[in-house]
Chains A and B, each alone.
With several copies, the nearest count.
Chain A
């Protein structure tokens, strides 16, 4: 995994597959921080803890998101503060508009129209800011109806956390998939973080469930608990205590550094991080009930 993260150039555009406090690529975010990457562009439908951490650690130059939340644990304080301070370039979109932009990227369309954004300040701010080259007001060539044309969104590399993959890279995602498929297939490079490695045989038995086929995947990182403290449906629940602790730190600019030092820079790798947050005993308490999935 450190090698995969090492291959991300500074200044790259990375797409992250998490949503709020679910299936975040936490271990990847940690390693990007440990390796002192900088000037990243990050895109994500609804930003979660992973992106908030990257912003809090100062790795991000440009943020392209549809929203951000840690659900009832709080807002994405680092992101919001960075906006208030103007310390990064920020493009505000919506869930569907980002999904459509990834869809265009996945389909090899350089643009796609949408009926959202119209008559909103989101569009006005995009037009007046760094999003100016990403949107254009157009009319349907057949009906004349007004649309916003959006430029395709193509991450240099996407990181997606999935429940099951095989060694070749075939992936299954359990539970809702938000914009995972479109983002994964839009990206120039795709790295999968898998909770579990299963034999290819499992995919041949139920090929309808393969969301990302192997030939699109550059690398599979097998790393259980890589999404902690966020939830992975069917594998583990979010870690409410740790999320509270995170928000306590992230809401105060003078304290986020303490969190990063203690839990990320102060740990060598994800295994040490898991020890730090309580190890096996604590993790066992988060394991999902097989029937409930949480």
Chain B
């Protein structure tokens, strides 16, 4: 069997955060891959929703994005933003929002709008449904590559709120429960219930604590005991490699 890639560990770790019978709004890319892995394993009754108006799709071909007809193949409902984002997410019945990000900071604030390097601003895709999901889902999982510049002390643009300024969500006027996990290709991060700051939960096999800390832009809280993230099972690997992303459209991203 091919060596296990860090993206595969990351995606399997993301999948395990999803629970059966949940309703999940998924962004395109790794969140979607993780969601399908969960649905094919421990969470067969999970309902994935796409912001464009899709419930419970079962794609057979890997899509290039949310606007690709492949993503909504064999869904049981096609509607629109108003239903998925309004009557589910804003209604408060979405258990998990599963997002990608350009940057996430120690309070779980997400930036998908712009980067600032040497004073130069570069714009990216903006929020789309990201702000809505981060504001309104009961809990938010972010999945992204672990790089120092992608995990800064404070995001260059606060597109989607986490625990802004370390404040509790209710105090911010937000309804959704806020950041729950950041899953990277090096580790799984949670949030301290008191301080609302990012806190290491588990290291992926093959990653050292030093590696994580050296590649994190903020002071990551490290509890006394840090678990090791379980490796993907043989069945999870088979599903990812043969069924969910056979062409490594998404899993090929990180070595």
Which residues does A use to contact B, with CB under 8 Å?
19-22, 45-46, 48, 65-73, 75-76, 79-80, 83-84, 92-97, 99-100, 103, 106-109, 114-122, 145-146, 166, 168, 170, 175-182, 185, 200, 203-204, 207-208, 210, 213-216, 230-231, 233-234, 237-238, 240, 288, 292-294
- Whether B28 is near chain A, meaning CB under 8 Å from some CB there, is yes
Given contacts A176-B79, A178-B53, contact A95 B74 (CB under 8 A): no
Which residues of the partner chain A approach B135 to less than 8 Å between Cβ atoms?
115-120
Which one of A67, A93, A177, A234 has the highest number of Cβ atoms from chain B below 10 Å of its Cβ?
A67
- Whether B172 is near chain A, meaning CB under 8 Å from some CB there, is yes
A120 lies within 8 A of B69 (CB): no
Q: Which parts of B33-84 form the interface with A (CB within 8 Å)?
A: 47, 50-56, 58, 61, 64-70, 72-83
B67 lies within 8 A of A48 (CB): yes
Which residues does B use to contact A, with CB under 8 Å?
23, 28, 47, 50-56, 58, 61, 64-70, 72-83, 85-93, 112-113, 121-132, 135-136, 157-161, 164, 172-175, 249
Tell me which of B73, B80, B121, B127 contacts A67 (CB under 8 A): B127
20 pairs, A vs B, C-beta closer than 8 Å: A45-B128, A66-B127, A67-B125, A67-B130, A75-B124, A92-B113, A94-B129, A95-B128, A96-B132, A103-B86, A106-B91, A119-B158, A119-B172, A119-B173, A200-B76, A203-B76, A207-B76, A234-B69, A240-B64, A294-B73
Which residues of the partner chain A approach B132 to less than 8 Å between Cβ atoms?
94-97, 116
B86 lies within 8 A of A107 (CB): yes
- Which 3 residue pairs of A and B lie closest in terms of their CB atoms, listed nearest first? A71-B65, A67-B128, A20-B67
Which residues of the partner chain A approach B174 to less than 8 Å between Cβ atoms?
115, 118-119
Which residues of the partner chain B approach A75 to less than 8 Å between Cβ atoms?
123-125
CA of A94 to CA of B92, assembled, Å: 17
CA of A294 to CA of B23, assembled, Å: 27
Given contacts A73-B64, A170-B77, A238-B68, contact A67 B161 (CB under 8 A): no
Which one of B47, B68, B77, B135 has the highest number of Cβ atoms from chain A below 10 Å of its Cβ?
B77
CA of A133 to CA of B83, assembled, Å: 27
Q: How far is the CB of B23 from chain A (nearest CB, A)?
A: 5
A179 lies within 8 A of B81 (CB): yes
Which residues of the partner chain B approach A92 to less than 8 Å between Cβ atoms?
113, 126-127
B67 lies within 8 A of A231 (CB): yes
Tell me which of A72, A117, A182, A293 contacts B131 (CB under 8 A): A117
A176 lies within 8 A of B56 (CB): no
A80 lies within 8 A of B73 (CB): no
CA of A58 to CA of B175, assembled, Å: 39
